[in-house]
Amino acid sequence: MTIALVTGGNRGIGLEVVRQLAQNGMTVILAARDLAKAQESAAALAAEGLSVLAKAVDVSDGESVKRLAADVEAEFGVLDVLVNNAAAYVDWSETASVADIDSVRAVLETNLFGAWRMSQAFLPLMRKSAHGRIVNVSSGAGSHGDMQFGLTTNGGASASYGVSKAALNGLTSKLAAELASTSILVNSVCPGLTATAPGMEAMGARPVSEGAKSVVWAALLPDDGPNGGFFRDSKPLAW
Ligand X SMILES: NC(=O)c1ccc[n+]([C@@H]2O[C@H](COP(=O)([O-])OP(=O)(O)OC[C@H]3O[C@@H](n4cnc5c(N)ncnc54)[C@H](OP(=O)(O)O)[C@@H]3O)[C@@H](O)[C@H]2O)c1
Kindly give, in sequence order, each residue whose CB lies less than 8 Å from that of residue 196, ignoring residues fewer than 6 positions away.
11, 12, 13, 205, 208, 211
Q: Is 132 in the site for ligand X (CB under 6 A)?
A: no
Query: Taking the mean position of all CA atoms in its chain, how far away is CA 56?
Result: 16
Q: Is 86 in the site for ligand X (CB under 6 A)?
A: yes
The distance of closest approach from Cβ of residue 4 to ligand X in the complex, given in angstroms and rounded to an integer, is 16
Q: Which of 2, 3, 5, 7 binds ligand X (CB under 6 A)?
A: 7
Choose the stretch contacting ligand X; rule: CB under 6 A; options: 12-20, 43-51, 116-124, 223-231: 12-20
Q: Is 88 in the site for ligand X (CB under 6 A)?
A: yes
Q: Is 87 in the site for ligand X (CB under 6 A)?
A: yes
User: How far, in Å, CA of 138 to CA of 62, rounded?
Assistant: 21
Kindly give, in sequence order, each residue whose CB lies less than 8 Å from that of residue 145, ignoring residues fewer than 6 positions away.
237, 238, 239
User: How many residues lie near ligand X (CB under 6 A)?
Assistant: 28
Q: Is 123 left (phi over 0), alpha (psi -120 to 50) or beta?
A: alpha
Choose the stretch contacting ligand X; rule: CB under 6 A; options: 4-12, 93-101, 125-133, 222-230: 4-12
Is there a contact between 230 and 176 (Cβ–Cβ < 8 Å)? no
User: Is 89 assigned a catalytic role?
Assistant: no
Q: Is 11 in the site for ligand X (CB under 6 A)?
A: yes
Pick the catalytic residue from 66, 161, 174, 213. 161
User: Is 165 assigned a catalytic role?
Assistant: yes
Residue type, 39: Q
Pick the catalytic residue from 37, 55, 128, 165. 165
| Footprint on residues 45-84 left by ligand X (CB under 6 A) | 57-60
User: How far, in Å, CA of 49 to CA of 176, rounded?
Assistant: 34
Annotated catalytic residues are 161, 165
